[in-house]
A and B are shown apart, each in its own frame.
Chain A
Amino acid sequence: GAVVSQHPSWVICKSGTSVKIECRSLDFQATTMFWYRQFPKQSLMLMATSNEGSKATYEQGVEKDKFLINHASLTLSTLTVTSAHPEDSSFYICSAVEGVEDNQPQHFGDGTRLSIL
C-alpha cells in the first residue's frame, strides 16, 4: 500500500522551457503532498506544501511564480517549473501523507531528475 507515482522520471530540456511534473497517490487519498528538491550530496529541501483545493504554501526563498503547484484532486499534485534555467537542474521529489495526523510517515514518489541545458 501507500504507493506514490511521479512522472516523468527524467527530463532534459532547453533553457526557457516550462516543465510539468506530476505526483499521484495511487492507492490512498492524500490531503497534503509535499515537493522537495535535492542537490547532489545534500539533504532534501522542502519547497512547498500542497493542499488539495487550496493554494500551496511555499518555503522561504522559493519563488511561487517560478514553481507553480496545483493540487487538483486528492490524488494528484503537479509542479510546473516555469521558464527553467540550468540552475533549476536538480532532483525533484514529491511525497504524500495518508491522513492528517502528524505521526504519519511520508511516502515518496520516484523523483524527477531535471536537467536544463
Chain B
Amino acid sequence: RKEVEQDPGPFNVPEGATVAFNCTYSNSASQSFFWYRQDCRKEPKLLMSVYSSGNEDGRFTAQLNRASQYISLLIRDSKLSDSATYLCVAYKLSFGAGTTVTVRA
C-alpha cells in the first residue's frame, strides 16, 4: 500500500464551482501535512500547510482528519488558473501522485 494515496481525477469543473478532494495517508505517526500545486512540467509550489484545526487561505480550505487518516482540500469559486495537479504531502516526505483539476470556462 502506498504511504499517501490520492484520487488522480481528473476533476473537470466549471468556473465558479466548488471542488474538493481527499488524500489518505497510512503512517499514523505523520505530524505535518501540506498541499502543493504542480503545473504541467513545472516544479511543485507550496499551496498551504494543513493544521489540525483546519485552515483557510482565501478560496482554499484544508482539513485534517486524524481518526480516518486523511487530509482534504476544497477550492471555492474555481478560477481557470486553478487548473493544475494538487499534491499532498505527509511527513516524512511522502508525496501523493496528485489530483488533476481542470477548470473550464
Compute how far the CA of A83 lies from the CA of B59 in the bound complex, rounded to whole angstroms: 47
Report the tally of A-B residue pairs with Cβ distances under 8 A: 42
The number of residues on chain B lying at the interface, defined by a beta carbon within 8 Å of a beta carbon of chain A, is 19
Binds B, one of A14-22, A42-50, A62-70, A72-80: A42-50
Q: Which residues of B lie under 8 Å from residue A91 when comparing CB positions?
A: 41
Closest 7 CB pairs of A and B: A43-B97, A108-B43, A103-B32, A111-B43, A44-B95, A43-B95, A105-B46
Contact B87 A43 (CB under 8 A): yes
Contact B95 A103 (CB under 8 A): no
For B47, the closest partner residue in chain A by CB is A105
Main secondary structure of the interface of B (DSSP, over half): loop
Contact B44 A108 (CB under 8 A): yes
A-side interface residues toward B, CB under 8 Å?
Answer: 6, 34, 42-44, 46, 49, 91, 93, 102-111, 113
B42 interfacial by beta-carbon distance below 8 Å: yes
Shortest CB distance B30–A (Å): 9
